[in-house]
Structure 1
Amino acid sequence: MKLNGSEILINTLIDEGVEIIFGYPGGAVLNIYDAIYKNEHRIRHVLTCHEQGAAHAADGYARATGKVGVCLATSGPGATNLVTGIATAYMDSVPMVAITGNVTTPLLGKDSFQEVDIVGITMPITKHNFIVREVGELQETIRKAFYIAKEGRPGPVLVDIPKDITAKISEYESKKPMELKKDCRYVTEKALANLAQFINKAERPLIFAGGGVISSGATELLKELALKINAPVATSLMGMGAFPGQHELYTGMIGMHGTKASNLLATKADLIIAIGTRFSDRVVANREHIKNAKIVQIDIDPAELDKNIKTDANIVGDVKYTLERLMNLIKEKRNDSWLELMKEYKALKSYKKDPDSVTPELLFNCLYKSFGEDLVMTTEVGQHQMWAALHYTFSKPRTLLTSGGLGTMGYGLGASIGAKIGKPESKVVNIAGDGSFSMNAIELATAVSNKVPVVVIILNNGCLGMVRQWQSFFYESRYSYTTLNRGTDYVKLAEAYGAKGYRVTEPSQIDEVLEEAFNSEVPVVIDYVINIDKKVFPMVAPGDPIDEIITEN
């Protein structure tokens, strides 16, 4: 059948299984929005308050569901407002398709009104991007975009569509999505045998698991491997939920704000098995700091092998497929003395407990007591993000959605909206700092107008907490522009948007407020007031060995 470009776009999105688009209209995408209007019974559009909110919502939707998130923006400033969200998805390997409008093809490259080279701008932060110059190419371009976003290491793809392409007529025929095929050519018997040899010889193995375990659906295999070789399991921030947080073999996050157990074990291990993770500067990027260990790595992206840390053996391949093949080559072992050392390290404390004050630890204990492993948590970026990682027990994949690689303040609220829409049966909370929350607080209007009952908890310390913490340790407490003194009343702000607002200043208030908040049918903001000098412990100074741990005790 013959359809115009906008109709081809919407029908192709539906063919790809898209149910939700997060976006914001403008002149260059008016034809697309007209097609959305005509197909609103087949596909839902969520109007955000800002294009960055649309990108973060699509990201949160993708992380929570495992599906491709879709966002839509007009040309020029609409397109550039997506950039931070696209970069966030790129750094954390999130499958997303970002669709932008542009000026008509005759006006491209002429500095036309609201024209920008969004393809050039986003080239370093996408897996691939396209500009569609012929309407006959539109359907296949969209199909390729979804394939690329999902294939291999997931990531964002941008499709830029000039306005005249959305109006021109071309042939359309409904097609099934392109079949995903795992590239397993490097998962050879020789490579598997070599990796297995390192594991079978090890007496002090430590598994370091990352977000790739979750992306590949390999969480059960990870647990099977850990139990078979009796190895402690540490995770990256992105890997939280890949291994049951309450399991006796789990030692917590590793790195700059990692647990004592994970960091100390990494320096004592004779083998580190890195699975679906990279060695970033916030984990360990200096081979000398873990010189006692041989290192083996499994990752789908060959660019991550030997990039920061030289490995002794590695395999390029899908984690799930590789572990399935590897498991039969692995021998069972006990490692009793190694596990005793793990227990000793896990008993070490890093911070002082203060049961009589409103603290982050108390908040996360109350949240877990009430909602357990089924709570879906998004975060902004800063101290609150690290407190969440350290003090909440994540035991299921896709329950912690956070900006790990880019560290995007303002990410969490939009992401929570996307997550709640993607998983409406789940309780969804966004953990925020007052600095991060203020960046995209306007998306409260999106949650209210779309009846998305997310809960936002602001750990309000009146400052940019993580930056201030660094100023305390490394700048002799010269607090240059990190004390906010804004005087914002977050309860009144919530109410102004049509949400509910609560304030917690005493421990006795927490349980009742949480119960009311999570039973609300409208969005809720909780102003959780904490001490300005509260710091995140443990901590390793940038560049220091990971066993040189700063603690409060």
Structure 2
Amino acid sequence: GSERPVILAGGGVHWSKAYGELLTLAELLMAPVATTFMGKGVIPENHPLALGCVGMHGRVEANKAIMASDAILAVGVRFSDRTTGKVDEFCHDAKIIHIDIDPSEIRKNVPVHLPIVADAKYALKAIIDELIRRGFKREKSDWIRRIEMLKKECEDSEPGGDLTAVNAIKLLRKVLPEKAIVTTEVGQNQMWASLHFRVLKPGTFISSGGLGTMGFGFPAALGAKVAVPDVPVVDIAGDGSFLMTEQDLATSVVEDIPVTVMVLNNSSLGMVAQWQRFFFGRRYSHTDLKGVPDFARLAEAFGARGVRVGSLNELEQVLREAVKSDVTVVIDVPIPKEEDVLPIVPPGRSLKDMIC
């Protein structure tokens, strides 16, 4: 039997709404749960078995755990290169069981030892039923104790100090209720949210993975607010990405759809600039947005509310007011221009090569 099992859960768990089954199986197997970015939030991220996201911008504990595993139960996962890093070096020592409703996903990118073509919810329920029939219940193992130590070493600190993207996102989690819905744009803002915004209730985190469409977060927030009007909705945005669909401020005001937009503003196309910094000798090209526009005044021009904050304390106060507002609030949060998303796995490299 496996001594170091890991469950890797992807977007298929969301589509199947197999949240309860996933958690039940993880607890029966005493197996830690890592997720792909598209699977973020399928398990409450404050659960003792939750590792967070794996991959290019995965959490340290998640990447280390999956690379040390000897068995992976992959559920609704595509095994994209953003998840695996260099495919040839992904989890050589692990046997992989792959559950997916789409047979074309099985063995597409990684070798699979046991393929199961099925809906995630039904497959997990069948496994649970069989384990219960056999009276199976795994006790806490050395592997879980090792995972606990790893998680403790990598635990996020409380928000405090300077106004940074990471601190702003941690503060947002502190302010919002569990049921609040968070969307993201695409770029550094998305990966900071992936790393540092803990999803506590399944299905409350919405982002564009796969295609990765800049400008997604704001219209997605409006749609979420229409669907669930009594729940706070916040878009974690970057300045470059928000500019792709900022004209929907008109929609939010005209149609009376109040949401909050937290713009992490480094006045640049930050993810591209980070790559230019890390991998191209700081040869910056067309990534500096030179402080354009004034987001607070832009929001006001549309009839929304705009605020530029200067400290974490001010941000907390504005956030608490914004989520209760009857009009959309755009919060301009100036962050350091060279604040990087870390960890990062360089393109074409193994998860073991992550830069922290």
TM-score, normalised by the number of residues in structure 2 = 0.95
Distance 1:391 1:351 in 2: 8
Question: In the TM superposition, what is the alpha-carbon distance from 1:486 to its structure 2 partner?
Answer: 4.5
Distance 1:467 1:448 in 2: 32
User: Which residue in the other structure is 1:501 paired with?
Assistant: 306
- Superposition pairs for residues 152-551 of structure 1, below 5 Å? 201-284=1-84, 286-330=87-131, 331-349=136-154, 355-551=160-356
Distance 2:158 2:270 in 1: 19
Counterpart code for 1:379: T
Q: Is the 8 A contact 1:429 1:454 kept in 2?
A: yes
Query: CA offsets, 1:221-280, max 9 Å, x none?
Result: 000000001001001111111101110110110000101111011111000110011100
Query: CA offsets, 1:284-310, max 9 Å, x none?
Result: 151432101010110111111000011
Unaligned runs of 5+ in 1: 1-200
Question: In the TM superposition, what is the alpha-carbon distance from 1:328 to its structure 2 partner?
Answer: 2.6
User: Which residue in the other structure is 1:62 paired with?
Assistant: none
**Larger relative contact order (C-alpha < 8 A, sep ≥ 6)?**
2
Counterpart code for 1:202: S
Question: In the TM superposition, what is the alpha-carbon distance from 1:460 to its structure 2 partner?
Answer: 0.2
Q: Is the 8 A contact 1:373 1:393 kept in 2?
A: no
Question: In the TM superposition, what is the alpha-carbon distance from 1:361 to its structure 2 partner?
Answer: 2.4
Question: In the TM superposition, what is the alpha-carbon distance from 1:351 to its structure 2 partner?
Answer: 8.8
Distance 2:242 2:282 in 1: 24
Counterpart code for 2:238: G
Q: Give the 3-state SS of the residue equivalent to 1:241 in structure 2.
A: coil
Unaligned runs of 5+ in 2: none
Distance 2:293 2:265 in 1: 11
TM-score, normalised by the number of residues in structure 1 = 0.62
Q: Is the 8 A contact 1:242 1:397 kept in 2?
A: yes
Q: Give the 3-state SS of the residue equivalent to 1:528 in structure 2.
A: strand
Q: Is the 8 A contact 1:358 1:505 kept in 2?
A: yes
Question: In the TM superposition, what is the alpha-carbon distance from 1:519 to its structure 2 partner?
Answer: 1.4
Comparing 326-335 and 387-396, the one that deviates more = 326-335
Distance 2:81 2:313 in 1: 40
Question: In the TM superposition, what is the alpha-carbon distance from 1:506 to its structure 2 partner?
Answer: 1.3
Counterpart code for 2:63: N
Q: Is the 8 A contact 2:12 2:77 kept in 1?
A: yes
Query: CA offsets, 1:357-383, max 9 Å, x none?
Result: 101222222222222321101111011
Q: Is the 8 A contact 2:11 2:39 kept in 1?
A: yes
Distance 1:350 1:462 in 2: 29
Q: Summarize the Cα distance change of 1:246–1:385 in structure 2 as closer, same or farther, 3 Å threshold.
A: same
Q: Is the 8 A contact 1:260 1:350 kept in 2?
A: no
Query: CA offsets, 1:438-484, max 9 Å, x none?
Result: 11110110011000001111000011111111111100111111111
Distance 1:417 1:501 in 2: 17
Q: Give the 3-state SS of the residue equivalent to 2:98 in structure 1.
A: strand
Q: Give the 3-state SS of the residue equivalent to 1:372 in structure 2.
A: coil
Question: In the TM superposition, what is the alpha-carbon distance from 1:334 to its structure 2 partner?
Answer: 2.5
Distance 1:402 1:487 in 2: 25
Distance 2:9 2:280 in 1: 34
Question: In the TM superposition, what is the alpha-carbon distance from 1:397 to its structure 2 partner?
Answer: 2.1
Q: Is the 8 A contact 2:156 2:196 kept in 1?
A: no
Counterpart code for 2:109: N
Q: Summarize the Cα distance change of 1:255–1:529 in structure 2 as closer, same or farther, 3 Å threshold.
A: same
Query: CA offsets, 1:532-552, max 9 Å, x none?
Result: 01011111111211122211x
CA RMSD for the aligned pairs? 1.6
Q: Is the 8 A contact 1:233 1:249 kept in 2?
A: yes
Counterpart code for 2:326: E
Question: In the TM superposition, what is the alpha-carbon distance from 1:429 to its structure 2 partner?
Answer: 0.6
Q: Give the 3-state SS of the residue equivalent to 1:274 in structure 2.
A: strand
Q: Is the 8 A contact 2:41 2:200 kept in 1?
A: yes
User: Which residue in the other structure is 1:39 paired with?
Assistant: none
Q: Is the 8 A contact 1:350 1:537 kept in 2?
A: no
Distance 1:497 1:307 in 2: 47
Q: Give the 3-state SS of the residue equivalent to 2:43 in structure 1.
A: coil
Counterpart code for 2:323: F
Distance 2:304 2:162 in 1: 27
Distance 1:468 1:216 in 2: 37
Query: CA offsets, 1:472-521, max 9 Å, x none?
Result: 11001111111111531101000000000011121220121011111110
Distance 1:303 1:373 in 2: 36
Q: Give the 3-state SS of the residue equivalent to 1:420 in structure 2.
A: helix
Distance 1:364 1:310 in 2: 37
Q: Give the 3-state SS of the residue equivalent to 1:283 in structure 2.
A: helix
Counterpart code for 1:503: R
Q: Is the 8 A contact 2:159 2:170 kept in 1?
A: no
Distance 1:336 1:365 in 2: 31
User: Which residue in the other structure is 1:116 paired with?
Assistant: none
